[in-house]
Amino acid sequence: MTYRQLIARFGSADAAIAALPMLASRGGGAPPPIATDDDARREIARAAKLGARHLFLDDADYPPLLCELDNAPAAIVVRGDIALARRTCIAMVGARNASAAACRFARSLAHDLAAEGASVVSGLARGIDTAAHVGSLDGGTIAVIAGGIDIAYPPENAALQDRIAETGLLIAEMPPGTEPRARHFPYRNRIIAGLSVGTVVVEAVPKSGSLITARLAGEAGREVMAVPGHPLDPRAQGCNLLIREGATLVQSAADILEQVRPIDVRAVRAPGSSYGAPPLEDANDADRRVVVALLAPVPVAVDELIRQAGLSPAIVQTVLLELELAGRIERHAGARVSLS
């Protein structure tokens, strides 16, 4: 989102980079570290050596549904068949400590979806994610990983990750060589949800990463589906809760495809077109004080900040941009921000 706001305001990457020190000083912080041209070339060369490449928001190959997100990554690293991201993509997520029955069902469900021409998207984690990738490996699977494209996590999935790179598609937002950290996983989850016309939760406990992915899918206007489970199994509580809150109950690939097939992926905005980022307005010191006073270490929705500040959205977004570049706030999934 910061990337799009900067490009919308300054018109080019060169002009935006030149303005970063000024914006950071307005936010009350030191200028952010800026990579050099050589840094960028080294990163691109390292990806190429791994058989991967970078895709940017204005590239024709950038996944079209992911491009629809307001906070779509400005750049991703991909390895494998990018055409899989242009098929009907279905995200399948669930518990890492999933039951044997749930893993078997997820594997069968993913196989059936791939056999119908869909790409199954997941996060290459233990449990349901692994089962989903294994089931759809021969028909079309996409793994979105939290670290660099060359880092296998969990380590036992290293061979599976290599196979997906050969027959499917690997996607990473972090630069090559980046070890995954806890904060990376919510960002990965938004990519999983953003790539897909719908997200299926097979087994999950409440307040799990899988439910975060489902929430992000719903916020992006995508279908949210869940497989029901036994009420006495804690690992089924998250799915049953989703269904109670309005998610579609699914029990087969046919149920899933019935929900998502009316969505025409070709109708979404083409990569490279205008993103329509709202224009920013200059803020004064009084505006900054109002916004900063409303911020706390607990994440709050930007819409709520705008409502309570009584300022225009453009002014609030400008102040948040300045504070972010100054290192004083962090952005979170779901368009929320908090003090660093």
Q: Structure pTM?
A: 0.87
Q: What is the pLDDT of residue 36?
A: 87
Question: What's the whole-number mean pLDDT along residues 75-100?
Answer: 96
Res. 211: pLDDT tops 90 = yes
Q: What is the pLDDT of residue 263?
A: 59
* Tokens 């368009």, located at residue: 335
- Give 271-283 pLDDT, tens digit per residue: 544 444 555 678 8
Candidates 7, 145, 144, 4; CA nearest to 70 is 4
- Give 114-166 pLDDT, tens digit per residue: 999 999 999 999 999 999 999 999 999 999 999 999 999 999 999 999 999 99
Q: What is the C-alpha to C-alpha distance for residues 176 and 188, in angstroms, rounded to an integer?
A: 15
Question: What's the whole-number mean pLDDT along residues 303-318?
Answer: 92
Contact yes or no for 169/80 (Cβ under 8 A): yes
Q: What is the C-alpha to C-alpha distance for residues 246 and 242, in angstroms, rounded to an integer?
A: 6
Q: In the structure, what pLDDT confidence band is assigned to residue 2 with cuts at 50, 70 and 90? A: confident
